[in-house]
Amino acid sequence: MIYPIHVYGSPVLHKVSAPVTQFDDELAKLVEDMYETCAAAPGVGLAAPQIGKDMSMFVWMYDDHDGPPRGVAINPTLLIYPVDTLPVDDGDYEGCLSFPGYNFRVRRSPYALLRAQNEKGEWYELEAEGWFARILQHEFDHIKGRMYTDRLTGDDAVEVAQIIKEEGWGVPGLYWMPGEDELYEGEYDDEYDDEYDDEYEGEYDGELYDDPDSHEGHTGKKDN
């Protein structure tokens, strides 16, 4: 089943998601539906709030890394290394299925450590670098009630406010249907991935933040 994707302004996108407590066939079906919706969009990640579910969980679908090409993170925590203060560049573009059709740049940590449950309730840990780490941080923001555009400052923040006004977003009840609507075109340049991964290749030493919301940054090309 493909779900409609809620657009900026839907209340569920702007609140901390509720913990998942029931691990059953219904949850397993929802996970499969989220994979299907993510693929249809298309995107590399999808959080439950984006389909109107007040649940602390997200999926990813991204195979350009050494870990699993897809997975679900339920009741996750995320540890990251500090975000550098260098100016954003073209390797920092992101997008969002809930802010469709627009891309902005944001600095993210090059490394993340995910701890979460799968659809069976089993706990696991997963390390991520480069674009995969970016995807996890983006999706984790969603279940904390934060859109990536909320991280923007300066001219980008002004532009976002203008877009919301012009598109008529920022109010409840707006959504689009993957595979049917032409609201979003998920195109991006693969070389951005390579540039980001090359820049942050290798081992990482230093302090981990236990709350990615604590760092400041811009946001912006892959859509999650």
* Residue 74: φ, ψ to 5°: -115, 135
- Cα–chain-centroid distance for residue 99? 11
- Give the ranges where the chain is alpha helix by DSSP (H): 25-40, 130-143, 154-167, 190-199
159 is catalytic: no
Query: Are residues 47 and 38 in contact, defined by beta-carbon separation less than 8 angstroms?
Result: no
* Residue 77: φ, ψ to 5°: -120, 155
Query: Are residues 119 and 27 in contact, defined by beta-carbon separation less than 8 angstroms?
Result: yes
**With the C-alpha atoms ordered 35, 41, 45, 49, is the resulting torsion angle positive or negative?**
negative
In order of 65, 138, 178, 180, the CA distances from 53 in angstroms are 28, 17, 17, 21
**Which stretches does DSSP call E strand in 16-152?**
45-47, 57-61, 70-80, 93-96, 99-105, 111-117, 123-129
Q: Select which of 139, 159, 187, 195 is catalytic.
A: 139
Q: Which residues are catalytic?
A: 139
